Amino acid sequence: MRHRDNTTPDAPEHRDASSTHDTTPTPERALIIAVQLAGTDDPELYSSAAELERLANTLGIEVLGFHSQRRSSGKSAKLLGSGKLEEIAHAIEELGITRVLFDGELTPRQHENLEDALGVRVTDRSGVVLRIFEERAQTRQAQLEVDIARIEYELPRVRRGHVADDRRGGGGRGEKGHTNVELARQRLRERLVTLRRELTDLQQHAATQRARRSSAFQVALVGYTNAGKSSLMRALTSSEVLVEDKLFATLGTTARKLDPPLQPEVVVSDTVGFIKRLPHELVASFKSTLDEAHDADLLLYVLDASDPEWPDHLQVTRETIQDLGANPHSRVVFNKVDRLDDAERASLRMRMPDALQVSAMRPELVALLHAEIARVQETSFVEESLLIPFELGHVVGAVHEGARVVEQHHGPRGTALKVRAPAHAIPLWRAELPDPPRFDDVDSLLERAADYGLELMLDDASDQAPGAFDESGADYRVLHAIDQEGDPWIVRTPRREGLYEPARIEARALRALSDDLPVELPRWELHTPEIIAYRRLKGRPGWQISPEGELSWNHIDPQDPSEAFLRSVARTIAAMHRLPSDELRAAGLPQRTPQKERDHLKAMLPRALSVLKPAPEVRERWERWLAADHLWAWTPKLVHGDLHPGHLLLDERGQLSGIIDWSEAHLGDPAIDLSFFIGAFAPGTLERLRDLLDEEGAEPGFALVERCQERWAYYAVITADWALDNDHEQALAHARNLTKALESRQ
């Protein structure tokens, strides 16, 4: 085009409408201007300008030209050089331009200077988006959010002789208003307070609505604007949802039930679309609307498969979701694949092999997405039991509606339900139940198991003292029992508060791992806050601690562990390292990145130093480890978290046959598990194990032995921190002994 200063074919094309004559109202005519900073290449510059043109077209603005200038900085008050400004002013006069659109965000001073230099209204990218949002806002909440964003945008732009209330143009040479700038600003602030108060009331109502359906599995559609989210929403839910081929056709959040329905029910939410450089005022204001994405169990990143810029759109969407702090399980969904030929679909599959390819217009492809939602819902379930008193029959009804009931038992104290449901739903039902009791005697614990339909009796053949708990564990009392067929069981009851959530993580870990490791794991048959029961695994623990506190080893010699034992450990750890991290996170396992782990351990040190009082060289060693960046360059892998020999079950040949107590399981530093082979076994054992890990294909990371050595040296701090949290004198004494042993070796 004659007024475009860059003639690359990638630049947005504009038609010259000067020869068009009809009786329809003349649309606004605009130029797009931009500053090309270092690091912004031509394709990126023109892609952004083309998107701004589409935004302008949505408002009925006709774009007739594009001008840009390379600048070293976008912070200059004048922004563009005088020659470029003269060139733009000439184009404005020649084409009858009524507005200039700046592809970026202007400071109030830059905005004022550009209008003074060009003599027409100037609207930056944020102003254009704000105006679209104003036209699209249908619900009261969306209107309030846009109004708040508008005032926050305009407050710094109030200038003498102008009250920034130009709803048509996002600021500029609007109607004359108050000449008292401070008075105008004060009125805007007062209006802002009123709007925020009303929005808070609506948000509380929306939160209540979400809570009412929070037992359902929540799916949120997120993605770039005009990617077809609303069409996909309508196809998934068989509902009448607004579908328009417009940018930002959807502003509010629409929630509908998945159809065909699943049990428990699935709720699908369609959210506001994203664009590049979405104005921060709108991100902040629409945060409540996007809470649907934050609270979702599954995020579907919807992309327009026919748009060649989908990689950029995916990046923008992910960055926006990350800014909101949302981190649920997610899948990428390519929509509109019916517009692609076979070769193009194959190319997409090569680039994104895990993405789903669907079309809202093709029912058989929508069915594939429906099946994937069902699969992810199934993997998200937890299995727990609830004992509901007879007088709380409404809770029984709520559970049947929101969960999959596996077993039901009527006993003297109420109805026991064993259910599979989304993890977040079960605490909602538990909140209506009486607080669970604590058990100090074995008979009461066995009676409680019977309330859930599990009939057990004491195992007189066990090593446990008759009629007593195994008290060797720090967190749980353990009872060895048998069922009516004589099969042995383990029954655990917590010693203290705060163990329910760790137990839920352990349950998720066991469910996620049970079929993927070469050793046995417990399969919990009964899981409640007050009792956990499972069939006892075969094998004996590597070591046991007697009631008198004496440690004895089973089947292995810690001074010379057998090759068969170490290889069985290496094979199991290698299998743990091969498990896909994203699937484990989706199953509910937490992840500790290197930085998060280091910060967590650093926070322990000041308090531990006050009680351990280590020698200076020990303290310096701890601090050096925490500061040594090269020892924190590991990739998170599945770790057990407390892999001491007491949690390793061995068969009669001394090989690993099972692993128990997964309450510390997470994605983290593999050295956490392997450091126990320094503390519990003879020198050189870890090096032997490392070589076997290499043979088995494990991925423990760089400098494994050094990382394990330093982590084991720090174990005194970790133990002291736990002891102080739990007021455990015995553990604190152990931490002091570890510190003294470390001092003797320095």
Produce one character per residue of 515-535: b if its CB has 16 or more CB atoms within 10 Å, e if not: eebebbbbebbbbbbbbbbbe
Instruction: For residue 324, name the pLDDT band (cuts at 50, 70, 90).
Output: low
For residue 465, the model assigns a pLDDT of: 63
Q: Percent of the chain at pLDDT above 90?
A: 57
Q: With 60 as the cut, is the pLDDT of residue 232 above it?
A: yes
Q: What dihedral do alpha carbons 497, 501, 505, 506 form, nearest 10°? A: 20
Least confident of 176-180, 271-275, 297-301, 574-578: 176-180
Q: With 60 as the cut, is the pLDDT of residue 213 above it?
A: no
Q: With 90 as the cut, is the pLDDT of residue 337 above it?
A: yes
Residue-by-residue DSSP string for 605-655: HHHHHHHH---HHHHHHHHHHHH-GGGG----EEE-S---GGGEEE-TTS-
**Residue 42 neighbours by CB distance under 10 Å:** 13
Average pLDDT over residues 95-118: 92
Enumerate domains of the chain plus CATH numbers: 17-132 (3.40.50.11060), 137-199 (no CATH), 213-376 (3.40.50.300), 380-535 (3.30.200.20), 545-745 (3.90.1200.10)
Average pLDDT, the chain: 86
Average pLDDT over residues 668-689: 95
Place of tokens 């802002």: 192
- Sign, CA torsion 621/627/629/631: positive
> pLDDT tens digit string along 431-462?
999 999 999 899 999 999 999 999 999 987 76
For residue 2, the model assigns a pLDDT of: 36
Q: With 60 as the cut, is the pLDDT of residue 555 above it?
A: yes
> pLDDT tens digit string along 21-47?
454 556 799 999 999 998 888 988 998
Q: With 60 as the cut, is the pLDDT of residue 698 above it?
A: yes
> pLDDT tens digit string along 457-483?
998 776 666 668 888 788 899 999 999
Instruction: For residue 165, name the pLDDT band (cuts at 50, 70, 90).
Output: very low
Indicate the DSSP class of residue 223: E
C-alpha closest to that of 674 among 704, 715, 632, 637: 704
> pLDDT tens digit string along 44-94?
899 889 989 988 998 899 999 999 999 988 888 888 999 999 999 999 999
Q: With 90 as the cut, is the pLDDT of residue 736 above it?
A: yes
Cα 65 from Cα 746, distance rounded (Å) = 74
Instruction: For residue 126, name the pLDDT band (cuts at 50, 70, 90).
Output: confident
Q: Which residue has the higher pLDDT, 325 or 219?
A: 219
Instruction: For residue 16, name the pLDDT band (cuts at 50, 70, 90).
Output: very low
Cα 592 from Cα 596, distance rounded (Å) = 6
List the structure tokens of 16: 């010259």
Calculate helix-pair angle for 363-380, 229-237, nearest 10 degrees: 80
Count CA within 13 A, CB hemisphere, residue 241. 26
Average pLDDT over residues 181-207: 84
**Residue 746 neighbours by CB distance under 10 Å:** 12
List the structure tokens of 279: 């104005």
Give φ, ψ of 596 to 5 degrees.
Answer: -65, -40
> pLDDT tens digit string along 281-296?
566 555 555 666 677 8
Cα 236 from Cα 256, distance rounded (Å) = 9
Q: With 90 as the cut, is the pLDDT of residue 425 above it?
A: no
Q: With 50 as the cut, is the pLDDT of residue 249 above it?
A: no
For residue 503, the model assigns a pLDDT of: 93
Q: Which residue has the higher pLDDT, 40 or 621?
A: 621
Q: Percent of the chain at pLDDT above 70?
A: 86
List the structure tokens of 66: 């594009």
Residues 6 or more apart in contact with residue 13 via CB below 8 angstroms: 1
Average pLDDT over residues 178-201: 84
For residue 243, the model assigns a pLDDT of: 47
Maximal CA-CA distance, the chain: 101
Give the SS3 label for residue 247: coil
Q: Which residue has the higher pLDDT, 21 or 404?
A: 404
Residue-by-residue DSSP string for 316-365: HHHHHHHHTT---EEEEEEE-GGGS-HHHHHHHHHH-TTSEE--TT-HHH
C-alpha closest to that of 668 among 596, 579, 580: 596
277: left (phi over 0), alpha (psi -120 to 50) or beta: left
SS3 content of the chain, % helix, strand, coil (to 5): 45, 20, 40
Calculate helix-pair angle for 715-726, 704-713, nearest 10 degrees: 40
Least confident of 409-418, 540-549, 657-666: 540-549
> pLDDT tens digit string along 557-594?
999 999 999 999 999 999 999 999 888 887 788 999 99
For residue 39, the model assigns a pLDDT of: 84
Please name the helix (run of DSSP H) or strand (run of DSSP E) that holds residue 420, with its range, or none: strand 414-422
Q: With 60 as the cut, is the pLDDT of residue 501 above it?
A: yes
For residue 558, the model assigns a pLDDT of: 95
Q: With 50 as the cut, is the pLDDT of residue 173 above it?
A: no
